Chain A
Amino acid sequence: MKEKPLQVLLVEDNAGDARLLREMFRAEGPGSFELTHLARMSEAVAHLVRGGVDVILLDMGLPDAHGLDTVRLAHAAAPDVPIIVITGLDDESLAAGAMKEGAQDYLIKGQIENRGLPRALRHAIERHRMHSETDLIRTNQLQFKDEFLSHVSHELRSPLTAIYQFVTLLVDGLAGEVNIEQHEYLGIVLSNVKQLQSMINDLLEVTSIQAGKLMIEPQRTSSSEAITYTVDTLQGAAIAKGITLSFDIEKPLPSVWADPTRVRQILIILVDNALKFTPENGEVKVKAHILEKDPSFLVFEISDSGCGISPDMTERIFERLYQASDPASAGRQGLGLGLYICKELVARQGGKIWATSVAGNGSVFSFTLPVFSLSSLIAPALRKDDRAESPVTLIVTEIGSKTGWLSENVRTEHSHWVRDVLRHCLHSELDVLLPKMGQSGAAELFFIVAIADVIGGKAITKRIQEKLDASEDIRKAGLTHSTSYRSIATIKRSAGQSRDEFLEMVTNQIQESMNEEISSRMVVNGQ
């Protein structure tokens, strides 16, 4: 079968140069190339968008586009079509820039040989094709690897479940009496089950990081609670190894803007790591304080009296699959995924993580998270039109259960669509739906700060009530709902007050009202 002629788009405003190039193609004989000649970038883009072009021959000085812009425009219009740029004699650096922008090759005006041009075109097309194929293969391989890992991890969980179930049946004496020695051995099996489980969880976590599916839901999160939880959880392991595990936190420690589950996860991995590399009679300490350089961040520090890390390794340890290769630390090391997971979790929540160490003198792992700030959440609404006088109304929606009990699972799930419903009832620029503001007793509370007066607040409240009344989800899940509003008197910005001072004043009043709402419900709900 005879091949179709290659469709060449020549973009060149100089008639003389264009004629010269055309002549070169003619020498190739009919049937191998078909040339379309356009003189302007805008025409070229329109032509490329229609498709059908195999290769672009592009002059970088056009009446309506110049330099690297020509390459960018052509590449954007037809990302899959190879580009060869034509430059002047003195423009090799420009040509190099064009290659960086995605051009396949360059030709210098006045130095193009007759036979050289078609060869350059064919090469460019071939190179481009190979490049695309390699990219595709690499993408497919990565995807396959992630799917494979995810599949394997899931499949490992069923046999692990069976092992756990039957060992615990034995340990609990449900299959007959167990002597002390047998009990001890079964305990070893269980702790290994736990290790395997945590490795499988790490694998799953890493595959979701790779697939961009990591779920993080930031809210106001108590940093001191996360720290005490971690220390309580790992105290047993510390005692078993003869290590003193303690925390030392400034009071009162501000809340952070982060996902509470993820904060605990980061702390657990870091403290667990510290325990692993600290010898008997050693010490592991968790600290937290405001970052001196930037008070909008809180820094957590986990220090140990272990073997330390050599300075050239303090960055590498956060790489995926990195393993400490210290002969002194005997025993199993795990998969080398923990610190990588930490790094991703911290970065995804707007913080940084790093390690410092004096070899032989312990290490300190530090990470930052943004401090929770109510004022930064409501600032955009107040700053709209640069308001100096704002009627502020606080609206509270309470979701409860007919049975009086909302499980943590049910809470999380329903919060999602309740938030969606609320968002639909709001003015997106003037009203702010606040994130979860902490524990609120048996019911789940949602707060809205509306830059509106009593009439406005009443209207929003009514809208929310109607929407929730009509909700199938509420009915099906056996939930109750109620919405109320309270006006926070119009706040005026006084003459000498700066914007920030004004914002702080408004924030304080809102916070106060919110605290009252929460505590009044705690009393009603018998908390």
Chain B
Amino acid sequence: MDNKKILIVEDDPDVRKGLHLRLKANNYDTVFAADAFSSMVEARKHMPDLIILDLGLPAGDGFVVMERLQSVPALSVIPVIVVSARAGVANQARALKAGAKAFLEKPVDNAELLAVIRKTLGELAPPEDAPVHDLGSV
């Protein structure tokens, strides 16, 4: 079976790389975008199965990206998981209203992120798992 493809929209190069390595270890393919504009370009080009979206981005924030995705029928079906340093129930509510399937706060625990990805992709049995380290809830 082909690996699922995930578009990572994140402007911090280190965080982007860290996410990529963790997802690769869990048998996901990744593509990248670092700003609001290129996220649309990459989404059209690769038609990913899922988008991991940061909220604070150059050239329009994550909410703008979600709005644009929603306006294109072919892209509006791609599930979005928001992973952001912007905490708070207000941001969470706004993101979910804008169409996000889940809202996670940075730094997000590896196990939690992978569980949410699997649920969102409808993968009931977990793929062959790399061990994850539990950061615990604080």
Q: Tell me the A residues contacting B by CB distance below 8 Å.
A: 154-155, 157-162, 164-166, 168-169, 171-174, 190, 193-194, 197-198, 201, 204, 208, 213, 215, 233, 403, 405, 407, 409-410, 412-413, 416, 476
- A161 vs B8: C-alpha distance when bound (angstroms): 15
Which of B14, B110, B138 has the largest number of chain A CB atoms within 10 A? B138
* Minimal beta-carbon separation of B137 from chain A (angstroms): 7
**If the complex has contacts A158-B85, A233-B137, A413-B93, are A174 and B130 also in contact, measured as CB distance less than 8 A?**
yes
Given the complex of chains A and B, what is the CA–CA distance between A194 and B138 in angstroms? 8
Shortest CB-to-CB span from B72 to chain A, Å, is 15
Chain B contacts for A476, CB-based, 8 A: 99
Known: A158-B15, A162-B14. A190 touches B135 (CB 8 A): yes
Interface residues of B toward A: which range?
Answer: 35 or more
Q: How far is the CB of B120 from chain A (nearest CB, A)?
A: 9
B107 near A157 with CB under 8 A, answer yes
Give the complex CA separation of A188 and B92 in angstroms: 31
In whole angstroms, how far apart are the Cα atoms of A462 and B56 in the complex?
Answer: 44
Instruction: Tell me whether A160 and B102 are in contact (CB under 8 A).
Output: no
Q: Which residue of A154, A166, A190, A215 contacts B85 across the interface (Cβ within 8 Å)?
A: A154
Partner pick for B110 among A158, A159, A168, CB 8 A cutoff = A168
**Which residue of the partner chain, among B56, B103, B131, B138, contacts A172 with CB atoms under 8 Å?**
B131
Question: Are B103 and A165 in contact, CB atoms less than 8 angstroms apart?
Answer: no
Return the contact of B132 from the options A162, A172, A215, A405 (Cβ within 8 A): A172
Assess whether B97 is in contact with A157, with CB atoms less than 8 Å apart: no
A-binding residues in B (CB < 8 A): 12, 14-15, 18-19, 21-22, 25, 56, 85-90, 92-93, 96-97, 99, 101-103, 105-108, 110, 116, 119, 122, 130-133, 135-138
Contact of A162 with B15 at beta-carbon distance under 8 Å, contacts A172-B130, A194-B136, A208-B88 already known:
yes
Whether A409 lies near B89 (C-beta < 8 A) is no
Could you say which residues of chain B place their CB within 8 Å of the CB of A405?
119
Give the residue name and chain of the A residue nearest to B24 (CB): A174
Q: Judging by beta carbons under 8 Å apart, are A161 and B89 in contact?
A: no
User: Chain A's interface: helix, strand, loop or mixed, by majority?
Assistant: helix
Known: A190-B133, A409-B102. A162 touches B12 (CB 8 A): yes
Q: Give every chain B residue within 8 A of A197 (Cβ-Cβ).
A: 107, 135, 138
Nearest CB of B to A138, in Å:
26
How many whole Å from B98's CB to the nearest CB in chain A? 11
Contact partner, A215, options B86, B89, B131, B137, Cβ 8 Å: B89
Complex: how many Å from CA A257 to CA B6?
42
The 18 listed contacts between A and B (C-beta, < 8 Å) are A157-B105, A161-B18, A162-B12, A162-B15, A164-B107, A168-B110, A169-B25, A172-B25, A174-B22, A174-B25, A190-B133, A194-B135, A197-B135, A201-B138, A204-B88, A410-B96, A413-B92, A416-B93
Distance between Cα atoms of A403 and B120 in the complex (Å): 11
- Which residue of chain B lies nearest to A175 when distances are taken between CB atoms in the complex? B21
> Are A154's CB and B138's CB within 8 A?
no
Q: Collect the chain B residues with CB atoms within 8 Å of residue A161's CB.
A: 12, 15, 18, 85, 106-108
Query: Which of B18, B102, B122 is in CB contact (< 8 Å) with A165?
Result: B18
Other than A154-B56, A190-B135, A193-B107, give 15 A-B pairs with Cβ distance below 8 A: A158-B12, A162-B12, A168-B22, A169-B22, A171-B133, A172-B25, A172-B130, A190-B133, A193-B135, A201-B87, A233-B137, A410-B96, A410-B101, A412-B92, A413-B97
The distance in angstroms between the C-alpha atoms of A213 and B114, with both chains bound, is 31
Chain A residues with CB below 8 A from B96, complex form = 409-410, 413
CA A193 to CA B93, docked complex, whole Å: 27
Chain B nearest CB, measured from A173 CB (Å): 7
Question: What residues on B are CB-neighbors of A413 within 8 Å?
Answer: 92-93, 96-97
Q: What chain A residues lie within 8 Å of B86 (beta carbons)?
A: 154
A102 CA to B14 CA, complexed, in Å: 57
Cα(A208)–Cα(B91), bound, Å = 13
The 10 lowest CB-CB distance pairs between A and B, nearest first, are: A165-B18, A157-B85, A162-B14, A161-B107, A413-B96, A168-B133, A198-B138, A215-B89, A164-B107, A161-B106
Nearest-Cβ distance from residue A333 to partner chain B, whole angstroms = 17
Taking CB atoms, residues of chain B closer than 8 Å to A164 are 107, 135
Closest to B85 in A: A157
B64 to chain A, nearest CB (A): 18
Bound: A190/B134 CA distance, A: 10
- A162, B88: Cα distance in complex, Å: 21
In the assembled complex, the Cα of A172 lies from the Cα of B12 at a distance in Å of: 23
- What residues of A have a CB within 8 angstroms of the CB of B137 in the complex? 233
* Complex: A278 Cα to B101 Cα, angstroms: 43
Complex CA–CA separation, A409 to B133 (angstroms): 23
Known pairs A194-B135, A201-B138, A409-B96; A165 contacts B19 (CB<8 A): yes
From A166, A168, A407, B101 is in contact (CB under 8 Å) with A407
Residue of B19, B56, B136 ringed by the most chain A CB atoms within 10 A: B136
Q: Are B106 and A168 in contact (CB under 8 A)?
A: no
What residue of chain B has the Cβ atom nearest to residue A215's Cβ? Answer: B89
Measured between alpha carbons, how far is A464 from B101 in the docked complex, in Å? 26
Q: How far is the CA of A49 from the CA of B90 in the complex (A)?
A: 38
Residue pair A215, B88 in contact (C-beta under 8 Å): yes
Residue on A nearest B12 in the bound complex, by CB: A158
Give the nearest-CB partner of A201 in chain B. Answer: B138
Min Cβ gap A90→B in Å is 57
Across-interface contacts of B122 in A (CB, < 8 A): 403
